[in-house]
Amino acid sequence: MAELPRNALTRSVRMAALPAAFAGRTALGFGKRVGGKSAELVAAELQARTAEQMFKVLGELKGGAMKLGQAMSIFEAALPEDFAGPYRAALTKLQDAAPPLPAEAIHKILAEELGVEWRTKFLEFADQPAAAASIGQVHKATWHDGRVVAVKVQYPGADKALISDLNQMARMGKLFASWIPGLDINPLLDELRDRAVDELDYLNESQNQRAFAIAFEGDPEFVIPHVLVAAPHVLVSEWVDGTALSSIIKDGSQAERDAAGVLYERFLLSGPSRAGLLHADPHPGNFRITPDGRLGILDFGACASLPDGLPSAMGSLLRIAQLGDAQTVIEGLRAEGFIKPNIEVDAEQVLGYLEPFVDPARYEEFTFSRDWMREQFTRMNDMRNPDFAVGLKLNLPPSYALIHRVWLGCIGVLCQLGATVPMRAELTRWVPDFTTAGQ
């Protein structure tokens, strides 16, 4: 049966080929410049070829390599525009597509997980996958009761491949960080590694999905598909039709972008208070806009348990930061573990560092944009800027790791959408202890 390439040496060689190939193309580009091609044209060709190879290698390896690409795709809005085009296309592909496994391999997994008579559970089963992603692929089928369903099948060897990739990528952090200049890749790799076991467990995912489906049952704005059958490596749930959020990002009208942005932000913020869970995989491949205008959510492998909702300190610190009370913000950050006891920081510089989180919360409506995100990334990663040194002194408590990932991811996707969203109303509604400054 066909499997993911899971030998650590084989996968490491494939990933290590990326920098070697880039160096080769750089040398070739130098030769072309000497031969008369303009530097701009050569640079564009190099970026396109590097992006194409990145997608090909990560897509074929799937596993942790592709999962990193999906996570990084959220931040492509921070790329300089003249650098972004080829990478944007490649990273967007990684959000919800990859080379699929053959039908015979999928049939064998279904027999092992659902029983040798697995076909009797379906009236129809499409051998060609509807989507293929980092650790599994999805097939469209008709359940025995006539319901259209999504059958999610985990790749054989996905567990070993995922752990191998994440360990290897930790040793190659500088290479992967170079794809999104200014992104601190090591915390992202650490967090992906911490969540790997959860995302490999489809039984755990089914419990998360069931909790969300119950909490959002009949909601006029959101569609959470119900789970029909769950096994360790197979998950059958209701099918959700719709337009991928990545397509809205690429081709949507401004009205469609704004509407999608409001629903996307509202779902991520409301999950903890409504379901006791935070959906922690915010890349656009997990979201669809349904024909009736609702937001469909498809993947629940990465979730954080927050039975009491979002931490109240989040709201109170945002509120205090808006008022410019730097010293009280510092005290709150220390209490929550963001600043360790032996670390001294400049309070005003910390406020400046937090600006990407605080600024949108100041407005009744805020328009996210690629230009705004590039400005924030550039400022925060400029070694000449005092904010850069502050970032090196701050700590990320484990209890906030997934919240931080979702918050940053949400900002990244909203910037890709260029969406205008009612920030203060949503924060007031869903984040405990946040009230509009001045009220």
Return the closest-CA partner of residue 357 out of 304, 320, 399: 320
Residue 148 pairs in a beta bridge with 142
For the annotated catalytic residues, the residue numbers are 281
**Is residue 303 within 8 Å of 268, Cβ to Cβ?**
no
State how far the Cα of 238 lies from the Cα of 240, in Å rounded to an integer. 7
State how far the Cα of 12 lies from the Cα of 106, in Å rounded to an integer. 26
Helices (H), 126-201: 158-171, 173-177, 185-200
**What are the backbone dihedrals phi and psi of residue 407, each rounded to the nearest 5 degrees, phi first?**
-60, -50
Residues near 237 by beta carbon (within 8 Å), at least 6 away in sequence: 149, 150, 152, 206, 209, 225, 226, 227, 228
State how far the Cα of 4 lies from the Cα of 11, in Å rounded to an integer. 10
State how far the Cα of 209 lies from the Cα of 247, in Å rounded to an integer. 24
Structure tokens at 354: 């937090």
Output the DSSP codes for 41-76.
HHHHHHHHHHHHHHHHHHHHH-HHHHHHHHHHHTTG
* H/E run at residue 347: helix 347-353
Structure tokens at 301: 């492998």
Through-space distance between the first and last CA atoms of the chain, rounded to whole angstroms = 64
CB atoms near residue 385 (< 10 Å)? 16
Output the DSSP codes for 146-164.
S-EEEEEEEPTTHHHHHHH
Residues near 74 by beta carbon (within 8 Å), at least 6 away in sequence: 282, 283, 284, 408, 409, 412, 413, 416
Structure tokens at 407: 């918050």
- Give SS3 for 100: coil
Residues near 398 by beta carbon (within 8 Å), at least 6 away in sequence: none
What's the half-sphere exposure (Cβ side, CA atoms, 13 Å) at 93?
18
